[in-house]
């Protein structure tokens, strides 16, 4: 009798275990189906039909772009990874339209068109509940007239490094024309921005601002031409179109000749240097309040205003004694530049197609 009770109890345990296993397997199957079902609400929901449209506007001519040219639509998933692309042709009224089927609701889209050798894009957008999305694109004609290019602010930082003086110049450029500043579309070597440096400058480097708190990106489009450095990168219209960081060294024995021409009108120049190590003696420069990085390093600052295009910027220096720690002062200089609020114009670093003729600095209309 006792053995029979034990047997019944054992079978009951086995039955319960089998039931639990079955329920677990059913739960797994339901979960797998829910994750793979395209109609399940959530990240993988698909919309039956989607219309994405827009108009390409020529801002220079202030009119729709009427040209039968290709328009490309890029699709990105919720990780901003490109997943698909579609093509159509621009209509005579400058409009374009894409009719898409069974598209995931969490995807985002970007429209692109190439005009005069440059790629322009729309904003990145996500369809509304009405299953439609408008993605307008703005394009510009080209101009080679530098009259509209100005420099509202130029920051210069001098850093003594033993027998060398490191010069860091941070330009902010405005393009006040409603056109892209650059050469002819079929001339990739056409000059755009021109930078002058002192004759004694050694190993100049050029970097473009990549946006607030994003630092700078190396530029490979500058080349030396007749004693100046010229860029082949077109400059988009608008204020703060470009922030350009120019860095070079000069021998400490030749700092008295730290002069170079300004190729564009400059509204304001600010010069910073360590309190010990260099001396500036000129009535053209107005001394401003000293600045500190919160530690022992103090920066002497000087300013000038309203310098005309073609004027020679003169910095009459004398070497007092090398700064105690050039690397510490260099760090302070970087902090000063960041505090100045000119770390670069907005370049939205999103995963999207690269412009045709642009590298670090783009014409994306984001």
Instruction: Output the pLDDT for position 156.
Output: 94
Lowest mean pLDDT among 108-112, 283-287, 288-292: 288-292
My answer on whether 186 and 331 are in the same domain is yes
Confidence band, pLDDT 50/70/90 cuts, at residue 41? very low
pTM: 0.71
My answer on whether 175 and 242 are in the same domain is yes
Instruction: Output the pLDDT for position 333.
Output: 55
Higher pLDDT pick, 48 / 52:
52
Segments forming the whole domain that contains residue 129 = 46-139
My answer on whether 291 and 184 are in the same domain is yes
> CB atoms < 10 A from the CB of 13, how many?
10
The winner for highest mean pLDDT among 62-76, 265-279, 288-302 is 62-76
Task: Report d(CA 346, CA 240) in Å as an integer.
Answer: 9
Task: Report d(CA 352, CA 330) in Å as an integer.
Answer: 35
CATH number for the domain including 133? 2.60.40.1120
Decide which of 80, 114, 139 is a domain's last residue. Answer: 139
My answer on whether 131 and 100 are in the same domain is yes
- Whole-number percent of the chain with pLDDT over 90: 41
The answer to whether residue 355 is domain-embedded is no
Confidence band, pLDDT 50/70/90 cuts, at residue 292? low
The answer to whether residue 30 is domain-embedded is no
The H-or-E segment that residue 212 falls in is none
- Residue showing tokens 């001394």: 287
Burial of 106 (0-12, 13-18, 19+ CB in 10 A): middle
Decide which of 85, 118, 139 is a domain's last residue. Answer: 139
My answer on whether 271 and 173 are in the same domain is yes
Give the chain's domain count. 2
Task: Report d(CA 119, CA 121) in Å as an integer.
Answer: 7
**For residue 249, pLDDT beyond 90:** yes
CATH number for the domain including 261? 2.60.40
The answer to whether residue 358 is domain-embedded is no
Mean pLDDT of 16-39: 38
My answer on whether 243 and 320 are in the same domain is yes
My answer on whether 192 and 326 are in the same domain is yes
Q: What is the pLDDT of residues 189-220, one digit of tens each?
A: 677 899 999 988 999 999 998 776 678 889 88
Instruction: Output the pLDDT for position 26.
Output: 37
The answer to whether residue 31 is domain-embedded is no
* Token couple for 313: 């910027």
My answer on whether 73 and 164 are in the same domain is no
My answer on whether 135 and 173 are in the same domain is no
My answer on whether 233 and 91 are in the same domain is no
My answer on whether 113 and 215 are in the same domain is no
Q: What is the pLDDT of residues 166-193, one digit of tens each?
A: 999 999 999 999 999 987 666 666 778 9
Instruction: Output the pLDDT for position 183.
Output: 72
**For residue 40, pLDDT beyond 60:** no
Phi/psi at 16 (5° precision): -65, -40
Confidence band, pLDDT 50/70/90 cuts, at residue 356? very low
- Residue showing tokens 């960081």: 245
The answer to whether residue 362 is domain-embedded is no
Q: What is the pLDDT of residues 276-285, one digit of tens each?
A: 767 787 778 8
What average pLDDT is seen over the chain? 77
**For residue 64, pLDDT beyond 70:** yes
Mean pLDDT of 310-338: 62
End-to-end CA distance of the chain: 84
The answer to whether residue 40 is domain-embedded is no
**For residue 141, pLDDT beyond 90:** yes
* Token couple for 173: 């450029």
Task: Report d(CA 118, CA 345) in Å as an integer.
Answer: 20
My answer on whether 101 and 154 are in the same domain is no
What residues contact residue 350 under an 8 Å CB cut-off, 6+ apart? Answer: 80, 124, 366
Decide which of 122, 139, 156 is a domain's last residue. Answer: 139
**For residue 364, pLDDT beyond 50:** no
The answer to whether residue 20 is domain-embedded is no
Question: Can you spell out the DSSP letters for 103-159?
Answer: EETT-EEEEEEEETTEEEE---B---TTSEEE--EEE--EE--GGGEEEEEEEEEEE
The answer to whether residue 357 is domain-embedded is no
């Amino acid at each position: 009798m006792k053995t029979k009770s034990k047997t019944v109890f054992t079978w009951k345990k086995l039955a319960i275990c089998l039931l639990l296993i079955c329920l677990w397997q059913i739960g797994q199957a339901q979960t797998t189906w829910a994750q793979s079902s395209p109609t399940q609400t959530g990240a993988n929901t698909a919309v039956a039909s989607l219309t994405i449209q827009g108009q390409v506007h020529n801002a220079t001519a202030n009119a729709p772009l009427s040209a039968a040219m290709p328009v490309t639509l890029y699709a990105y998933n919720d990780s901003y990874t490109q997943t698909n692309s579609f093509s159509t042709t621009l209509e005579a009224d400058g409009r374009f339209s894409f009719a898409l089927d069974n598209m995931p609701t969490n995807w985002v889209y970007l429209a692109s068109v190439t005009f005069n050798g440059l790629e322009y894009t729309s904003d990145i957008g996500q369809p509304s509940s009405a299953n439609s999305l408008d993605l307008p694109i703005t394009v510009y004609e080209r101009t080679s007239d530098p009259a509209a290019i100005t420099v509202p602010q130029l920051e210069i930082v001098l850093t003594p490094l033993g027998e060398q003086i490191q010069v860091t110049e941070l330009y902010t450029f405005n393009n006040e024309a409603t056109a892209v500043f650059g050469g002819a579309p079929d001339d990739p070597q056409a000059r755009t921005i021109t930078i002058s440096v002192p004759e004694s400058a050694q190993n100049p480097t050029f970097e473009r601002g990549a946006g607030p708190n994003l630092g700078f990106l190396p530029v490979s489009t500058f080349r030396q031409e007749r004693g100046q450095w010229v860029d082949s990168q077109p400059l988009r219209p608008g204020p703060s179109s470009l922030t350009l960081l120019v860095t070079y060294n000069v021998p400490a024995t030749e700092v008295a000749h730290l002069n170079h021409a300004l190729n564009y009108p400059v509204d304001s120049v600010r010069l910073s240097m360590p309190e010990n190590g260099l001396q500036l003696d000129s009535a053209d420069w107005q001394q401003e309040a000293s600045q500190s990085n919160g530690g022992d390093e103090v920066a002497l600052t000087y300013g000038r205003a309203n310098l005309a295009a073609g004027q020679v910027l003169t910095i009459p220096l004398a070497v007092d004694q090398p700064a105690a720690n050039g690397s510490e002062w260099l760090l302070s200089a970087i902090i000063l530049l960041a505090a100045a609020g000119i770390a670069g114009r907005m370049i939205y670093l999103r995963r999207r197609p690269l412009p045709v003729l642009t590298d670090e600095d783009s014409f994306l209309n984001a």
